Amino acid sequence: MNRLKSLFSKKSSGVGIELTPERINIARLKKQGQKLKLQTLATTEIPEGVFEEGQIMDSPTMAEIIQSTLAEGKIKATQVAAAVPGRAVTRVIPVPAELDDAELREMVLNQEASLYLPFPRDEADVDYQKLGFFVDDDGIEKVQVLLVAVKKDITDSYAETFAQAGLNLSVLETSSFALIRTIREQLRQFTSQEAAAIVDIQYESTEISIVVDGIPHFSRTVPLGTSQIQNALSRAMNLPPSRNADLLQGMSVPAGPMTGGPKGGMNPGTAAMLRVLSDLSDELRRSIDFYLNQGEDMEVAQLLLAGPGSAIGNLDEFFSQRLGLPASSVDPVEALAIETDEELSPAQRSGLATVLGLGLREI
């Protein structure tokens, strides 16, 4: 059974639930007139070892955490939408336009998918969507198809966990799709010849998505996130390792040119943080260069920073200087003009882009 069957569905889901290695976020949005309101937001820390490398390692414990977080937030739900963080294969591929739906399905799901997957086809859940027609350089009409694939053991672990929690997983998509839904208005400022690089800095990894016309054309997961930054800070400051993100609260990248890397005279914690961020900017450069070298007649116009790590002060300026591209941090609450009853700190807001994108499916 293909667990990604609802990836492109318009079906409403009820509640958005985001699972990460460090915490679970649950959001329910409602429409008030023309505006959106965050009706409920519930979040709980997840113990170490329950969720690792994009996969649920301990389904019974995770199911219990989901149930208790829903109960504490007084959220009644039967249908939920969830997202697989990173580690998805996303590609836009051209196929002959004359294929009927059955032929297209056979070609994309079996022949084409095998060419793009870094793992065996029978180990993958694959979904696709037709995007639009174009004429190639040889004058042949083709149709562009968006292909998304996730390893079956990952999608199976989600299905098993939510079933144990007594919930119907009506939608399972990739976190990049949910995030794009949150910032779609910002993405509309770019032309069809301009790509935006979305940099989603999560706990144990960063997902880089190159997006054109709101469609991810390329995605890559890099094993650098807030956990690696926190660990580098802790070591430099002789503190015990911690999963708590408090250490990053209020941290800022020093203003001014950083072209030579971390400078002497800087405090050890800041220097350690900059080393990890410099490694991340190098990975960003490699990803952008790889995408542009595919022969796409495109320019990357801007970096959009999201996820918990984007709350680090001056990070947009740091990446902008390192990569020579405009960069800005995403505030998902502001991007959706969402009304909230309680004040959310910038650090809290930065980590909500994915779960709010999941909650939007209900509206």
H or E element in which residue 269 lies: helix 268-292
| % of the chain surpassing 90 pLDDT | 55
CA 220 to chain centre: 10
pLDDT at 248: 74
Q: What pLDDT, on a 0 to 100 scale, did the predictor assign at position 45?
A: 93
Could you tell me how far CA 137 lies from the centroid of its own chain? 34
User: What percentage of the chain has pLDDT greater than the value 70?
Assistant: 91
Using CA atoms, how far residue 236 sits from 4, 226, 309, in Å, is 43, 15, 19
Q: How confident is the model at residue 21 (pLDDT cuts 50, 70, 90)?
A: very high
From the CA atom positions of the chain, what is the Rg in Å?
21
| Assigned domain for 170 exists | no
DSSP string covering 125-187: EEEEEEEEEEE-TTS-EEEEEEEEEEEHHHHHHHHHHHHHTT-EEEEEEEHHHHHHHHTHHHH
3-class state of residue 319 by DSSP = helix
Residue 269: per-residue pLDDT? 83
d(CA 353, CA 335) in angstroms, rounded, equals: 9
At CA 148, angle to CA 144 and CA 152, rounded to 5?
Answer: 150
Assigned domain for 146 exists: yes
Whether 295 is in a domain gets the answer yes
Question: 207 φ, ψ to 5°?
Answer: -100, 125
- Please check whether residues 114 and 200 belong to one and the same domain: no
Q: Does 52 reside within a domain?
A: no
101/233 same-domain check: no
Q: Which residues contact 141 (CB under 8 A, 6 or more apart)?
A: 96, 97, 98, 133, 134, 135
Of the given ranges (7-21, 146-160, 209-223), which has the lowest mean pLDDT?
Answer: 7-21
Average pLDDT for 205-223: 92
Alpha helix locations (H) across 73-100?
none
pLDDT-based confidence at residue 110 (cuts at 50, 70, 90): confident
CA-closest candidate to residue 218, choices 118, 147, 314, 120: 147
Structure tokens at 33: 């007139």
Tens of pLDDT, residue by residue over 54-88, are 889 999 999 999 999 999 999 998 889 999 987 78
* Residue 274: per-residue pLDDT: 94
> At 308, is the secondary structure helix, strand, or coil?
helix
Position of tokens 């996969």?
A: 55
Q: How far apart are CA 214 and CA 292, in angstroms?
A: 17
Q: Among the three residues 103, 132, 150, which one is the final residue of a domain in this structure? A: 150
Lowest average pLDDT, out of 5-9, 223-227, 344-348, goes to 5-9
Is the pLDDT higher at 154 or at 347?
A: 154
Residue 127 to residue 89: CA distance in whole angstroms: 11
* Torsions phi, psi for 142 (to 5 deg): -125, 165
Span of 14-28, 113-127, 249-263 with lowest mean pLDDT: 249-263
Q: Can you give the CATH number for the domain in which 117 is found? A: 3.30.1490.300
If pLDDT is split at 50, 70 and 90, which confidence band does 185 have?
very high
- Quickly state the pLDDT bin for 116 (edges 50, 70, 90): confident
* C-alpha count within 13 angstroms, C-beta hemisphere, residue 246: 5
Q: Is the residue at 318 inside a domain?
A: yes
Q: How far apart, in Å, are the Cα atoms of 126 and each of 3, 108, 109, 114, 174?
A: 8, 9, 7, 10, 12
Q: Quick check: 317 and 327 in contact, CB under 8 A?
A: yes
Task: Give residue 264's pLDDT.
Answer: 54
Ramachandran angles phi, psi of 310, nearest 5°: -70, -10
**Do 224 and 306 have their domain in common?**
yes
Residue 260 has pLDDT above 50, yes or no: no
Q: Are residues 319 and 197 in the same domain?
A: yes
Please identify which residue in the block is written with the tokens 């910032």: 183
For the residues 48-56, what does the mean pLDDT come to? 90
Answer yes or no: is 83 within a domain.
no
On whether both 119 and 253 belong to a single domain, the answer is: no
Evaluate if residue 10 carries a pLDDT over 70: no
Our measurement of the distance from residue 358's CA atom to the centroid of its chain's CA atoms, rounded to an integer in Å, reads 11
> Where is average pLDDT lowest: 88-102, 244-258, 288-302, 309-323?
244-258
Judge whether 205 and 223 are in contact, CB under 8 Å: yes
Q: Interhelix angle for 315-323 vs 268-292, to 10°? A: 50
Inter-residue contact 80 to 162 (CB < 8 Å): yes
What is the identity of the amino acid at 142?
A: K
Q: How many CB atoms sit inside 10 A of residue 294's CB?
A: 11
| Mean pLDDT for the chain overall | 88
Q: Are residues 191 and 314 in the same domain?
A: yes
What is the tally of structural domains in the chain? 2
Q: How many CA atoms lie within 13 A of 289 on its CB side?
A: 8
Say yes or no: 237 and 309 in one domain: yes
pLDDT confidence band for 6 (50 / 70 / 90): low
Q: How confident is the model at residue 296 (pLDDT cuts 50, 70, 90)?
A: low
Amino acid at 27: A
Amino acid type, 311? A
Whether residues 191 and 323 fall in one domain: yes
What CATH number should be reported for the domain holding residue 234?
A: 3.30.420.40
Q: State which residues form the domain around 110.
A: 89-150
317 and 204 together in one domain: yes
pLDDT for position 320: 96
